[in-house]
Amino acid sequence: MRILITGSHGQVGSSLTEQLAKHENTEVLALDRVHLDITSQDAVNATVAEFEPTIIINAAAHTAVDKAEEEVDLSYAINRDGPKYLAQAAQSVGAAMLHISTDYVFEGNKAGEYVETDATNPQGVYGKSKLAGEIAVAEACEKHIILRTAWVFGESGNNFVKTMLRLGDNRVALSIVGDQFGGPTYAGDIACALIQIAKRINQGDAVEYGVYHYSGLPHVSWFDFADAIFDVAVVQGVLEKKPRLTSITTDQYPTPAQRPSNSRLSTEKITLGLSVKASDWKAALNNIQAYTE
């Protein structure tokens, strides 16, 4: 199995690189944006032609949700054009393309969990550019898996867990949004899920290509997630004392980009179809010291 990873220094990309280093009979080419600019079609074509991967995993993305409202061209270049070039290159060498997408492709006002067939209606530039990327990948590469996820956190990069630990270290009280709900998803679990799928494809197992949802359970609010983070941090001695938490509404914490109030993704399809279990975000907090390093 020959795997090309893009965005190798991101939360998921770094986990992919680390986990795949332990796999036998697997050749990995892990590239960050310095070594491969996915917005350059020539660069993508040259890299793919030389390495000849059997699987391409695109973990590169412009994920700065608020900045995306101003950096429109950059968002579409990274989130739409780059994936399109990678998918076209994958098709040219007969490779499968695994592409990470987001809950932001939905409007976020559904009462229950979002399933893969629900209508998309992104509300901001980030979601719109990611949806455009999904469409581009599906059109360009026959063997494609689009993995929508949400609320990603891990030991590398910036994320909610790290922010909470940093703020909790120097504040006695914090206000956290309590009316947005979703499934926190550990980057290491996303990487593991992608590797499981890649191995199935490489082994020639029957795989239904298309869109899958993958995120953490149980679903919680940001307030609930923060509460759990601080409980673990105090028990494990990362923080001396838990800050006093107050639940606030989205309206009380305005941001340039609109956030979905409901980011609950159903993971039933990926569990039944590909035997991939939902991310266990509570277990991922057990080694909370790793998020402070």
Contact 47, 93 (CB under 8 A): no
Tell whether 27 is covered by a domain.
yes
pLDDT by residue (tens digit) across 120-156?
999 999 999 999 999 999 999 999 999 999 999 999 8
Domain tally, the chain: 1
Tell whether 256 is covered by a domain.
no
On average, the pLDDT of the chain sits at 96
Question: In the structure encoding, which two tokens stand for residue 77, read together?
Answer: 């270049």
Does residue 55 surpass a pLDDT of 80? yes
Tell whether 9 is covered by a domain.
yes
Tell whether 189 is covered by a domain.
yes
Domain residue limits at 210: 2-159+185-215+265-281
Tell whether 11 is covered by a domain.
yes
Residues 6+ apart with CB under 8 A from 234: 240, 241, 242
Tell whether 112 is covered by a domain.
yes
Q: Give the three-state DSSP class for 101.
A: strand
Its pTM stands at: 0.96
Hey, which residues are catalytic here?
Answer: 126
Note the pLDDT of residue 72.
96
Tell whether 230 is covered by a domain.
no
What is the pLDDT averaged over residues 29-57?
Answer: 97
CATH code assigned at 53:
3.40.50.720
Tell whether 248 is covered by a domain.
no
Confidence of residue 157 (pLDDT cuts 50, 70, 90): confident
Note the pLDDT of residue 86.
98
Does residue 292 surpass a pLDDT of 90? no
pLDDT by residue (tens digit) across 62-71?
998 999 999 9
Note the pLDDT of residue 293.
76
Beta strands in 118-263 (DSSP E): 144-149, 152-153, 173-177, 181-182, 185-186, 210-213, 216-217, 220-221, 244-248, 262-263
